[in-house]
Structures are given as C-alpha cells and as structure tokens.
Structure 1
Amino acid sequence: MVSEHLHRSTYAAAVIGDRSTDPIIGEASPQTHAAPPPMPASIPQENPITQRGRAQVADDVENPFFLSQNENPNAVLVSPLLAGSSNYESWSVSMRIALEIKNKWCIINGSVAEPSSDHHLHAAWRRCNLMVCSWILRSVHTSIAQSILHLDRAKDAWEDLRHRFSQHDAQRVSILQSDIYGLKQGNLSINEYYTKCKTLWEQLNTLRPLPQCTCNARCICKLTEKIRNEREEDYVIRFLQGLNDEYNNLKSSVLVLDPLPEVYKVFVMAEKLERQITFANLSACNLNIDATQANAVHPNSSEEVIAALNTYNKRYGNNNKGAKCTYCGMSGHTIEKCYKKHGYPPGWIPGFKSKGKQQQSAAVIANDQADSANTSE
C-alpha cells in the first residue's frame, strides 16, 4: 500500500510532455525529478489593470469634485484663525493656498460653476461645496462663524468675509506707510528687523498691488517690471535707513552702487556684519572681565595705578608754563599768584626768581645773622 512506503520513497508530481506519458500524481518515482520552470527572458511588464488603476487615481486627484478618505469637515486649514480686519490679509492668503492644494479653490472663484439640479455631477459639487464651507467655518473665530453659518455656498461666505474685513482704504495705507518709514532697528537683531520690514511691505503690497496691463495686445514696454524694480529699490533704502549707526559703513557702501542689489542680498551683508560686531563686543567684554579678575587678585594694583596717574598729573598736567599774568604781563604765573599785585612773601630778595634760590638765600641770611649775634656775645 502507498501508506506503508511513505517513509522509504520520494513522491513527485510533474506535468511534462504528452498527457499519456505523464506520471500519476502520487506515484513513487525515486529517479524522476520535477523540471525547473524556464527563466523569463525579460522583466515582466506591469499588469495593465494596475496601470489603469493608477491612471484612474491620478484622474480622480485632478478632479475638483474628488474627496479622499482623509478629508475631514472639522479640519482647521490655517492658523491663527480669522479675528477681523487686523489679520484678514494674511489669513486670506494662507486660506487660498490651502484650498488650492486641495484643488478646491475653483469652487470659491467660480471657475467650476454649479451644475444644474438634474445634472449627474450636481451631488458631487454640493458635497465639495459643503466641505469648503465647513473648512471656512472652522478657520474663523466663533463670533464670525455665527454670521456666515447660514450661507450654504462657499463662494458667498468668502465674499461676505472679503467685503467686511478687506479694508482697501487710504487710512490703512497711510498707517502702513508711516510704520514703514518710522521703523528703526533699535534693540532688534538684523533677522528680527528684516522680518518686521518684510511683513509691513507685504501688507502694503496686498493693499496696493502692482498694476497689470489690460490691453488686448500684449504690452512690450515692461512697465510692470520697472515698477517692481523701483519698489525693490525703495525696500533696500528703507531697510538701510532703519539700521543702527554701527552699520553706517554698510549704508554708504551699498547706496553708491548702481544698480542697487536686491534686498535679500543686503540683508545677508548686514547679518554678516552683525556677527563681526558681536564678536568684537564679546572680545572687549572678555578683556574687561580679565582686568576685573586681575584687580580682584591684586587689590592694591588699582590704587597704585591711581596714585601714579595723580603723580603724573601733578608733574606734567598741572604746570603753569603756558600761563600769563594779566596784571603784570609776565608769563609763568596767573593773576591769582602775582606778587606785584598781592605783595611779596616774607624774606623775598629782589633779583631771584627761583623759589629754590629764594629759600637758599633766606637760609644764608639767617645763618649770617646768627653768627653775628654769637660774635657780639
């Protein structure tokens, strides 16, 4: 029986050649082995079904009505939330970028119109429209969301926010211009100062964008490019004028260039100079610290230095060689020490101008008087 020879025989199953000569599956064949399958001549091509599936996914992503499984109506697309006219400009730019990434900005700007109610794409459009409405509601403050809650079209909600908070008035432009021209570096670093300048410039550009040519034929004068270059030069000038006095050499070096470099290049140069100034200040602080520590080790050294300075000032700093008396007209003394005005001191001998000689003469006279007195006695 087959079961009695399982431990002594090797079983093989193969399908080779004609069916009539094939061995029976399960028959013991100790000398027959299965032939290996032939190696493929080349790498097999991808399954056409898989290719069609990938192409379909790409088409779905490009379709503005496509909603993936990861889309969440409670998602907050931008941060911080819209709080009013103070941050509407930055919020609108961030929100537009987020919607374009999700391929849903076409619903806001109207490039994909709403299909009719009996159209087969109307349900897909409505789902995408309500998803965008939900994203807008989640990206604004709660009090603002209550005012647009009942608008069932994303385009209407967007336009309502734009009309309320987009203030393209002269007063807002005036405030921004005053902030730009009055901005100074002060205690800010170069990076912080440049960031603040860049923010104000972008806000002004949003309120007063560059004009675009509306001619039917394409304009060839490149007026928009010239206006853009002039604004870039204004940015460079305002950035340099707001720097501290430590950067005066950089200001004079850049402003003489023609044409002026781009503003980011000037920022890089200012940042390099800032590192040099910081390194020099640190070196000076280290020297001061070393001097303080040396004085702490030798507490009498500072007193000795002060005494030496005082001695030097007494010898060389406070001389009256260049003084001239306004009373007698002689040099070497002032009117406060003029003997002709205030009188000569006791024992003064005319003809001797030196104080040392006066003292020697007075000593000689005193000795002579003492000798004469002793002789008389």
Structure 2
Amino acid sequence: MASPSQNTTQTPDHLVNPTNPLYLHPGENPTLALVSPLLTESNFHQWERDMVVSLETKNKEKFIDGNLSCPPITDPLHEAWRRSNRMVMSWLTHSMTRSIKQSVMWMDTTSENWRDLKDRFSHADKFWIFDLQDQILACRQGDFSVFEYYTKLKILWKELELYRCVLTCTCLTPCKCGLLSKLHKEREDDYLIRFLRELNESYAQVRSQIMMLDPMPSIVKTFSMVLQHECEFIGLIRKHSVLDSLAFAAMSPNQPRFNSSDKTNSNASKNNSKNKFCEKCKKTNHTIETFYFRIGFPAGYRKNKTNNKASAKWIQLPLFRNWIWMAILPMTNSLSLKTSTSYASNHWIVDSGATDHISPTKSLFHNLRATKPIPIKLPNHTTFIANFSRNIHISDLLLADVLFVPEFSVTLISVHKLVSTIDCMAVFCDSHCFFFQKSHFKMIGAARKIDGFYCL
C-alpha cells in the first residue's frame, strides 16, 4: 500500500519560489510602464539604465541579456518561460513611444527585441557626446544658485559617463598598478575645475582657497564648501537688509514717512512727556538726549511745513540731469581733479551721492554714443561737460548710460542710478558693499572698503 507522501504531487519551484526567474506574482500587470519617460530616439541610454534596474527588482534581467534561453517544447518549463517572456516584452513595449513600439512588436523573444534597440540607438552616440560636451562647456552659474548650478552640471556629467565610462581591465590577473584609480581622480579633478571656473565673481575668494589645496578635495566636498560660503553671505545680508534698505532706498512723495505724533501712546506716557525739559532748546516734551537737532533726524522725518517745501524741492534736484552733484571733493586737491590715490584710476568708487555713473577711461567703453551736452557741476563750482555716454558691464553689473568725462581721474558708480535701472539692492557693511538681485536674492557684485571708499 502506497504511503500518503508518495501520492502527493510536488509543486513546481517556479510557482512558489520568488527567486526563480520564471516566477510571476499574481499581481503582475502586463500593461504596466516600468520606465518614465518613455523611450524616444534621443534618450536610449537613460531609458536602458532605468529599465535594467526595474527588471532586476523583478528578477527578470536574464530575459533581455539572453542568459535564460527558451527550453525545448518537451520541457515542462517551456510554457512558464513563454509566459514570463511575454510579460517582459509587454513591459518593454509599454515603456516606448508608439512609433518605436510598432517596429518591435512582431518579434518573438525579449532578447531579440533588446538587441534590436541597442543596435539602432546606441551607435549614434558620438554626436550626442559632442553635444553634451558643448553643454558642459557652456554651463555657467549666472542667475542660478550654487545648488541649482551644481545639480545641472552633475546631470550632464552623469549622462556623459553613460556614453564614455572609464575603461576597466579585463585581464584574468587583476591589475595592481593603480591606473584605474588615477583615471577616476583625474576625471574628478576636471569636474572640480569646471565647477569652480564658471562660478560668479562673488565666489572668487573661496575659489582661490580651494584651488590652492593640495591634494584637491573631492567635487562633493568642494560643493559643500562653496555652499557654506553662499549661506554665510545670505545670513549676513538677512541680518543687515532691513537697516541698510532703509538707508539707501529712494523715497517717493507717495511713500509713508515718519510721523512724530504716536496716537497709540497712553495718557500716562503723554503726561510724562510734558514733564520732560530740554536744556538745549529750553522746550518741554523731550530731553537733550533725544534732541533731534543734536543727534540727527530719523529717515523721512517731517519737521514743519516750511522745511517740507524745501525738502521736496531738494528731492527733485536729481531729476535735472544738467546739474549732477558729486561728493568727491575730499579726494581732490585741485580744480583739475588730479589725485595721487592709487586706486582712483584702477577701481570703480561706489558713491551714494552721485546721480550718474562717470568714467574718464575710454577703453572701458566698447563704443561711445553722442548725447546732448550735460554740464557737471561740483560743490566747489568746478564745471565739466559730458558729450558721450554708453553702457558698461562689470561682471554681472550693468551700468547704464555711463558718462565719459576725460577730465576726471576717478570712476564713479551711482548707487541711486544702479538700484533704479537693474532692480537690485545695495547693502553696506563695515568692510564691503554688496549688490543683490531682488528677485533671486543673488549677489551680483561686491565692493571692498579702501581708505574710507567702497571700491569695486
């Protein structure tokens, strides 16, 4: 009599063992698109990598590389192989565009399908490699943040590595000369120099520090150092932005101004103010410590109606372009404006009192444009005539309508005109003056303080 164990039929391994390449989970969907975006004529390598990863997670990569061939018809696993092969083919075709799908849908095996795709799309890579190299060479930080600029470069690098990977030794005896590691290091150094080279000029200091390191740090470490430098500047600007914006923002007549009468004060504080007496002006409601004529008036303070009219007239003075007042007399010893200061002719001086940009150096202008003669009168009654002007680019700064005055020996940047023409903000600190775009909060220029002047 046969035992019960002998009568029991053993379940095939491919039906219960998930590690078997022929195993199909009951929840598998043949209409599923494993990869996004779909395969097109120009993204084969990216699509190939994503598809291999997806098939490896499902233990089906052997169907595309040909390592799992079709069993004979008499083999019990023949039908199981056909089902798995059709499932993988369906995943492939549903991850292609319609035109490519129609060209491979009549093939019988997944490996045949895969070979056809590689033969068609992987041999036209030389032109795309050239395009990628051009994109890398043309990639600059510009208006991007450090993170966005680095991410854009890294995407291009990784895509280029798909086409041109570092070759490895295939000898039976492993190579011990260390050539492979040297090749990887040289490629990473090239990436690092490319990343540093196209940073904006505001990162010149940290760029010089990194380039002097020996050995050079990794590209990831370099990115971290530059990002830390950027965060330090942003933190510094956020700290000073409110105070410095009030100091240099141009106020229009429609903007709200300081109001000395605070209606929110309590009756008790009003009574206390009546008891205060100023020994300087012999009046009540304040003390000598808060006497504005002694300590200075707040920005936008209205003193009285008479002074308001005079103030309104002075605010409109910059609108008359035939009178341009410059605060440069401390630098001059004669009417010819010649000075022995070394940086006067080599740097742009940031001037918050000037209404126009001025330069005496003709070589800074690509070409000059004749303008209506503009008299330039200084507080010492010296007058010059500007007959030419043109735009000048200083790194990321655009100086619009710079006046060419050869009699000057200094070059001036008008803060008022700069912030009104390129929509930026100027932030003055103890040792530097920073210029930032308002839209992206990106630094576009920095001037150092030299002998009391901010020089760019």
When the two structures are superposed, what TM-score results if normalisation uses the length of structure 2? 0.53
Q: CA offset at residue 318 of structure 1?
A: 8.6
Residues 204 and 302 of structure 1: CA distance in aligned 2, closer, same or farther (over 3 Å): farther
Does the 8 Å CA contact 1:185/1:244 hold for their aligned counterparts?
A: yes
Does the 8 Å CA contact 1:295/1:302 hold for their aligned counterparts?
A: no
Equivalents in 2 of 1:311, 1:166: separation in Å?
66
1:237 to 164, 169, 193: 193
Residues 191 and 118 of structure 1: CA distance in aligned 2, closer, same or farther (over 3 Å): same
Number of matched pairs? 267
Partner of 2:108: 152
Equivalents in 1 of 2:115, 2:173: separation in Å?
31
Partner of 1:102: 58
Does the 8 Å CA contact 2:14/2:20 hold for their aligned counterparts?
A: no
Name the structure with the higher helix share.
Answer: 1
Residues 172-321 of structure 1 correspond to what in structure 2 (within 5 A)? Answer: 172-283=128-239, 285-291=241-247, 292=249, 295-298=299-302, 300=311, 303=314
1:115 aligns to 2:71 (yes or no): yes
2:17 to 53, 56, 60: 60
Q: State the one-letter code of the partner of 2:132.
A: L
Equivalents in 2 of 1:188, 1:315: separation in Å?
40
2:38 to 81, 85, 99: 81
What SS class does the counterpart of residue 62 from structure 1 fall into?
A: coil
Equivalents in 2 of 1:268, 1:204: separation in Å?
23
Q: CA offset at residue 281 of structure 1?
A: 3.8
Partner of 1:164: 120
1:136 aligns to 2:92 (yes or no): yes
Q: Determine what percentage of the aligned residue pairs are the same residue.
A: 36
Does the 8 Å CA contact 1:295/1:301 hold for their aligned counterparts?
A: no
Does the 8 Å CA contact 2:70/2:81 hold for their aligned counterparts?
A: yes
Equivalents in 2 of 1:311, 1:130: separation in Å?
82
Name the structure with the higher strand share.
Answer: 2
What SS class does the counterpart of residue 56 from structure 2 fall into?
A: helix
Cα shift readout 1:136-172 (whole Å, capped 9, x = no counterpart): 1111111211111111211111122222222454332
Cα shift readout 1:67-98 (whole Å, capped 9, x = no counterpart): 0112110111111111222x222111111100
Equivalents in 1 of 2:123, 2:312: separation in Å?
69
Residues 221 and 316 of structure 1: CA distance in aligned 2, closer, same or farther (over 3 Å): closer
Equivalents in 2 of 1:137, 1:317: separation in Å?
79
Q: State the one-letter code of the partner of 2:245.
A: I
Q: CA offset at residue 249 of structure 1?
A: 1.2
Residues 231 and 313 of structure 1: CA distance in aligned 2, closer, same or farther (over 3 Å): closer
Residues 127 and 268 of structure 1: CA distance in aligned 2, closer, same or farther (over 3 Å): same
Instruction: Give the gaps of 5 or more residues in structure 1.
Output: 1-55, 324-333, 335-377
Q: CA offset at residue 135 of structure 1?
A: 0.3
Residues 58 and 287 of structure 1: CA distance in aligned 2, closer, same or farther (over 3 Å): farther
When the two structures are superposed, what TM-score results if normalisation uses the length of structure 1? 0.63
Question: Which is bigger in relative contact order (C-alpha 8 A, separation at least 6)?
Answer: 2
What SS class does the counterpart of residue 61 from structure 1 fall into?
A: coil
Q: Which has the larger radius of gyration?
A: 1
Q: CA offset at residue 258 of structure 1?
A: 1.6
What SS class does the counterpart of residue 113 from structure 1 fall into?
A: coil
Q: State the one-letter code of the partner of 1:232.
A: E
2:26 to 69, 81, 87: 69
Q: State the one-letter code of the partner of 1:227.
A: L
Residues 313 and 181 of structure 1: CA distance in aligned 2, closer, same or farther (over 3 Å): closer
Q: CA offset at residue 177 of structure 1?
A: 1.7
Q: CA offset at residue 100 of structure 1?
A: 0.4
Equivalents in 2 of 1:207, 1:111: separation in Å?
24
Q: State the one-letter code of the partner of 1:263.
A: I
Equivalents in 2 of 1:316, 1:67: separation in Å?
85
Q: State the one-letter code of the partner of 1:110.
A: G
